[in-house]
Amino acid sequence: MPVRDNPFRAWIRLEQPRLGSRVSHASDEFFAAKERLIQPADPVFIEDKYDDHGKWMDGWESRRRRTPGHDFCIVRLGVPGIIHGVDIDTSYFTGNFPPQASIDACVSDDDVPDSDWTVIVPRTDLAGDRHHFVPVNDGTTWTHLRLNIYPDGGIARLRIYGEVCADIEAGGVIDLFALKNGGRALAASDEHYGSMHNLNLPGRGVNMGDGWETARRRGPGNDWVIAALGRPGVVERVEVDTAYFKGNYPDRVSVEAALFESHDDARPDSESWQTLLPESKLAMDQQHYFETELTDLGPVSHVRMSIYPDGGVSRLRIFGRVADGAGS
C-alpha cells in the first residue's frame, strides 16, 4: 500500500532498530527469523529462494502448529512511547498467513517480561498479502509489545506508530529536536522523495533516501517543514546536513521558531514565527553549522525550516538547553 494511504504516517515508527528497538523473543521462528519482523526495508518476495527450512520468506514465520495454543513475538522498544496505531503487514504471505492477530503491551525492564500485559489491539481478522492498519487509543506509555498470531503462520512486518516519551531534565546542551528526546516533524509542504521523519533520526544519513526530499518545484515559492521540539528550549546552535544530496540540495535555508501552546497552533501561516536563522547558503553533501548567525528568541517549542526553492536535507539538529520548568 502506498505511503499516502497510511493513516498513521504523521507519527514516528517506534519499532525501528536504529532507535534501539529489537525483537527480544518469539515462541517459534522455524521458517523465518523473528528479527525480520521489524526490518526497516519493505518486504520482498524472491521466487526461487529456499533455505534449509523451506521457502525463504521476508518476515517472521512459525511452523505449522499441531498442538493447542498460538504463537507470539515480543518487540522491545528502544525508547518508551505512546502507540497511536499499528500496521500488521502480511505482504507475500498468502497460504501461510495467520487468520487472526492481537497485540498486548506492557512496561518492563526485562527482555521477556513476566508481568501483566494489556490488550491494545483486540483479536483482529487478517487477510493474506495486505496491510492491516489498526488504531490504538489508550494514551499509555509502553516499553514492550507482544504480537499474538492465531494459531500460527507468518507476518512480513509489524510497524508501530506513535510518539516518543522522553525523560529530559533541564541542564546541558542537547539536540532538542532529536527523536530520542521526543522531537517530531509535524508537517511539510512536500515529501515526494523522502519523509520528513528522517530529519531527526539518529546518526548521519546512510544514503540519499535517508533524508527529507521534495519534488522539483516548477512554480513560485519554496518548500518547508514544521517540527516540534521534545521540550521547549533556548536554541544555541543549528546544524543542517545535506549528506548525499549533491545535484538536488537546496540553494539556501532559513529557520524560524516560536513558542506555541499546542501543535495545532504551529500552522504555516501563523504570525508568531520569528527568524532564528536568516537565509543562508548551503553546499552539497556536507554538515552546515550555524551559531553566531542565530537570533536569541528565548524559549521556543517549534521550528520551521524553509528551503529555497526545493531539494533534499538529510538531518536537522536544533541544539539548545531545555527551558526552566520545561523538563519532564
Mean pLDDT of 299-318: 98
Grid cell of 65 as nine digits: 502448529
| pLDDT confidence of residue 115 | 78
Grid cell of 233 as nine digits: 528550549
Is the pLDDT score of 184 beyond 90? yes
Bridge partners, residue 316, by sequence: 240
Bond preceding residue 43 cis, omega within 30 of 0: no
- In whole angstroms, give the CA distance from residue 157 to residue 34: 10
| pLDDT confidence of residue 1 | 42
* Amino acid occupying residue 328: S
| DSSP for 78-119, written as a single string | EEEEEEEEEEEE-TT-SSSS-SEEEEEEE--SSSS--S--EE
Compute the mean pLDDT over every residue in the chain, rounded to the nearest whole number.
95
CB atoms within 10 A of CB 224: 18
Is the pLDDT score of 4 beyond 70? no
- pLDDT band of 2, cuts 50, 70, 90: very low
Q: Are 250 and 309 in contact (CB under 8 A)?
A: yes
> Where on the phi/psi map is residue 246: left (φ > 0), alpha (ψ -120 to 50), or beta?
alpha
- Domains of the chain are 3-164 (2.60.120.260), 174-322 (2.60.120.260)
- pLDDT band of 324, cuts 50, 70, 90: confident
| pLDDT confidence of residue 328 | 55
Query: What is the DSSP code (8-state) at residue 194?
Result: B
pTM: predicted TM-score of the whole model, two decimal places:
0.90
Residue in the structure block whose three cell numbers are 539536540: 175
- In whole angstroms, give the CA distance from residue 157 to residue 150: 16
Is the pLDDT score of 172 beyond 80? yes
71 CA to centre of own chain: 27
Torsion angle of C-alpha atoms 96, 101, 103, 104, degrees rounded to 10: -110
- pLDDT digits over 105-162, tens only? 999 999 999 879 999 999 999 999 999 999 999 999 999 999 999 999 999 999 999 9
- pLDDT digits over 232-280, tens only? 999 999 999 999 999 999 999 999 999 999 999 999 999 999 999 999 9
- pLDDT band of 5, cuts 50, 70, 90: confident
